[in-house]
Amino acid sequence: MRSLKRSSRHKSSICLNLRHSNIENQMNKIIDLIHQIASSKKVINEILQDEEFDYFAIQKKAETDNKVAKLKDLSVTGVNISGVLKNARPVNSKRSFEFLTPDFANAADGFAGQGKVFLLTNNDIGPNLLQYIDFYKRHPDSIFVIWDWDPQHWTYMSCMLAMHCDFYISSASENAFLFSHFNPYILGPVLGGVNQWTRRFLMEHFSMLLTERSNEPIGKHAFYQAFPKRNRAVQTVSNTFPQVGFSDNKYQSLSDLENLKEWVGHKTHWTMPVLCGVPVRVHNAIITGGIPIVPSYYKNIPEIMSLGDLPLYYETIDLIEPRRINELAVNKFDQGGESGLIERVCLGIEKHHIDFRCEEIFILLEDKLMKIANNSREHHFGYMGH
């Protein structure tokens, strides 16, 4: 018996030592990662100290200010708008949209005219950056506004776009300081919005939003090789909930009605973003009456102001055991009942649709044009201003 006790104590001591060793190794690995982060950040900060950015900022401001000074009308009326925003409609009667074709940058100069406004996204320009830069240079009397939907990770494209437009708008607060080195007129940010359906379409099919839903969540995500952490999160939840997983892009071939039917078939919607920012799928979930389940760090970014208490916030441990938080989300849906669902839909239509995001951009633009024309430095817009 004594021998067995000594053996047991010996084994316990070995296990304890191994546990301490594993913890120490883990901490050392994390500290090493911190050093790598700090080193990378230091390199970026050192680059941003280059005086060339000062010269460029002065030049860029002068070019845009001179362009604005030539405008006869500082209000935004006719807009040449991105074809990506095909489901956007003006909410202000003074505005009209002319949607651009995907190859607009290669078209002959059919857009000539002083004061024309272009609202483009990074997705319009990404495949044809050089053609767009040439197009931008060939239209020195037009106002170019770029709404960047991927400012968190497509850094090269974001910087190039900020350089080659008059007003740059990010869809997230992240990297605002970085982009300010490439354009003195950074507006917003303006979050992404529901671009899947027009508001009229949603109203015409409102009864579909009230049909019975599954307690099982949904959350199809594109696979991105460059973001293994996000991919691990999707795969881990998928082990419990198969409807949360990687997309085969089938939705692109489905009709608006078929896509809507899929969204309204579930009470809860998981979202695992690649980095920071709020993906459009969060707004899609709200406008179709569902409960979005989003990462907990969302509570610490300004973008949360537009979401309020609508989502549930998951921790990393919830990815391993996702049923508990999904049940909480289902309970929230059930407790709100039909009235809660209608409130979410109405809030989504009023606050999260692409129509109002575009109008927010035009209001910001008109305000900035007026400020430039009057050489004013006052600022009234921003997160706290809305």
pLDDT, one tens digit per residue, over 288-338 is 999 999 999 999 888 887 788 899 999 999 999 999 999 999 999 999 999
56 and 188 together in one domain: yes
65 backbone dihedrals φ, ψ, rounded to 5°: -60, -40
pLDDT average, residue stretch 267-279: 92
334 and 211 together in one domain: yes
Using alpha carbons, select from 277, 247, 240, 274 the residue that is nearest to residue 262.
Answer: 247
345 and 207 together in one domain: yes
**What per-residue confidence (pLDDT) applies to 385?**
47
208 and 301 together in one domain: yes
- Whether residue 245 is predicted with pLDDT greater than 70 in this model: the reply is yes
pLDDT, one tens digit per residue, over 47-84 is 999 999 999 999 999 999 999 999 988 999 999 999 99
- Whether residue 110 is predicted with pLDDT greater than 80 in this model: the reply is no
83 and 206 together in one domain: no
Residue 214 three-state SS: strand
- Count Cβ atoms within 10 A of the Cβ of residue 331 and give its class: 0-12 exposed, 13-18 middle, 19 or more buried: middle
Mean pLDDT, all residues of the chain = 89
Lowest mean pLDDT of 14-18, 48-52, 139-143, 343-347, name the range. 14-18
Among the residues of 70-226, which ranges form H helices? 122-125, 129-137, 155-163, 176-179, 199-204, 206-209
Please give the tally of structural domains in the chain. Answer: 2
Contact of 189 with 176, CB cutoff 8 Å: yes
Using alpha carbons, select from 171, 209, 201, 164 the residue that is nearest to residue 189.
Answer: 171
The reply to whether 41 falls in a domain is no
Lowest mean pLDDT of 51-55, 88-92, 272-276, 360-364, name the range. 272-276
**What per-residue confidence (pLDDT) applies to 108?**
64
Contact of 148 with 171, CB cutoff 8 Å: yes
The reply to whether 43 falls in a domain is no
209 and 115 together in one domain: no
CA 250 from chain centre, in angstroms, equals 22
Lowest mean pLDDT of 105-119, 187-201, 282-296, 343-357, name the range. 105-119
pLDDT average, residue stretch 128-136: 93
Contact of 263 with 280, CB cutoff 8 Å: no
The reply to whether 292 falls in a domain is yes
Q: Which residues pair with 187 in a beta bridge?
A: 169
80 and 187 together in one domain: yes
180 and 65 together in one domain: yes
In the Cβ-directed half-sphere of 368, how many Cα atoms lie within 13 Å?
23
Percent of the chain past pLDDT 70, that is, above it, reads 91
pLDDT, one tens digit per residue, over 18-53 is 566 688 888 889 999 999 999 999 999 999 999 999
216 and 123 together in one domain: no
**What per-residue confidence (pLDDT) applies to 3?**
38
- Whether residue 2 is predicted with pLDDT greater than 50 in this model: the reply is no
Contact of 164 with 133, CB cutoff 8 Å: yes
Q: Which domain holds residue 315?
A: 199-352
Percent of the chain past pLDDT 90, that is, above it, reads 72
63 and 146 together in one domain: yes
The reply to whether 336 falls in a domain is yes
**What per-residue confidence (pLDDT) applies to 302?**
85
The reply to whether 74 falls in a domain is yes
- Whether residue 354 is predicted with pLDDT greater than 90 in this model: the reply is yes
The reply to whether 219 falls in a domain is yes
- What's the CATH code of the domain at 87? 3.40.50
**What per-residue confidence (pLDDT) applies to 305?**
79
pLDDT, one tens digit per residue, over 186-235 is 998 999 999 999 999 999 999 999 999 999 999 999 898 889 999 999 99
- The Cα–Cα gap between 367 and 371 comes to 6
Report residue 368 as tokens: 């900035």
pLDDT average, residue stretch 340-357: 94
- The Cα–Cα gap between 277 and 173 comes to 7
374 and 329 together in one domain: no
**What per-residue confidence (pLDDT) applies to 23?**
80
The reply to whether 283 falls in a domain is yes
pLDDT, one tens digit per residue, over 141-154 is 999 999 999 998 88
**What per-residue confidence (pLDDT) applies to 144?**
96
Model-level pTM?
Answer: 0.89
pLDDT average, residue stretch 266-282: 92
Helix (H) or strand (E) segment spanning residue 170: strand 167-170
Contact of 158 with 151, CB cutoff 8 Å: yes
The reply to whether 46 falls in a domain is no
97 and 156 together in one domain: yes
Q: Which residues pair with 167 in a beta bridge?
A: 145
The CB density around residue 106, as the number of other CB atoms within 10 Å, is 12
Find all residues with CB under 8 Å of 243, minimum gap 6, and list them: 216, 217, 218, 219, 220, 266
Q: Which band of pLDDT confidence, cut at 50, 70 and 90, is reported for residue 370?
A: very high
